[in-house]
Amino acid sequence: MRKIYFIVFFLPLIGLTQANPDPCPYDNSIDNTTDVFGAEVGASLSGIAWSGWGYRLLNMESSKTYLISLCDQSINSTFDHQITIYTAGGGQAVAWNDDSDCSVNPIRPYLIFTPPFDGDYDVLWDEYWNSYCQHFNDGLSDYFGYYMEVLSDNTSISELKNINRKLVKSINLLGKESPAMNNIVIHIYDDGSVEKSVIVK
């Protein structure tokens, strides 16, 4: 009989930090919207939310990587949290995490997210107590802090150093060695580099 009491009492506690292998469904209300187009590396948003809420990020750029975190130490909720990201309006989930991976609080998740394409995305907040993807919103005390930041911008233009190289061949787009005026010319160098130019007269 003691074993049964032990199992009945401790089984819910064991389940509190179980990882959810699936994304939470798109059933949250979108309560905040921010346009993040052109945000520089280091730009951030933070605030408080309740599970069942969502945040729409407009014009996210696929060339940038974003941190989406619930690792705030001022969190007032004691449940295991889940983050799910959908394209705006629902459809297919593109990222999710409820892993306990915050150093400041072991039941808080975060995501490092690079959008698959430019556009609008919805970040959904959910909680786990005895079932995945639950919404607890008493409007008083079960809130948590979120933090979002642009971590990196993967677009850059770098000039080739002016190195000693020799022109091997100049060809047009058809591969002919006698480029005509007002056409694109491709210069091939002995180091394997290639340049495109236009001869204008």
- Average pLDDT for runs of 10 along the chain of length 201: 47 44 88 93 88 93 91 62 91 82 62 93 84 71 81 70 80 78 82 78 63
DSSP labels for 159-187? PPP-----EEEEE-TT--SSPPTTSEEEE
Between CA 167 and CA 188 the distance in angstroms is: 6
User: Has this prediction a pTM greater than 0.75?
Assistant: no
Enumerate the H helices of the chain as residue ranges.
2-15
Between CA 126 and CA 38 the distance in angstroms is: 29
Are 35 and 59 spatial neighbours (Cβ–Cβ below 8 Å)?
yes
CATH class of 2-153: mainly beta
pLDDT at 109: 79
Are 112 and 65 spatial neighbours (Cβ–Cβ below 8 Å)?
yes
Q: Residue written as tokens 């919103």? A: 137
Q: Residue written as tokens 């819910």? A: 12
Q: For residue 148, which phi and psi values (nearest 5 degrees)?
A: -130, 140
pLDDT at 41: 92
Between CA 7 and CA 170 the distance in angstroms is: 78
pLDDT at 62: 92
pLDDT at 75: 57
pLDDT at 6: 41
Where does the chain hold its CATH 2.60.120.380 domain(s)? 2-153
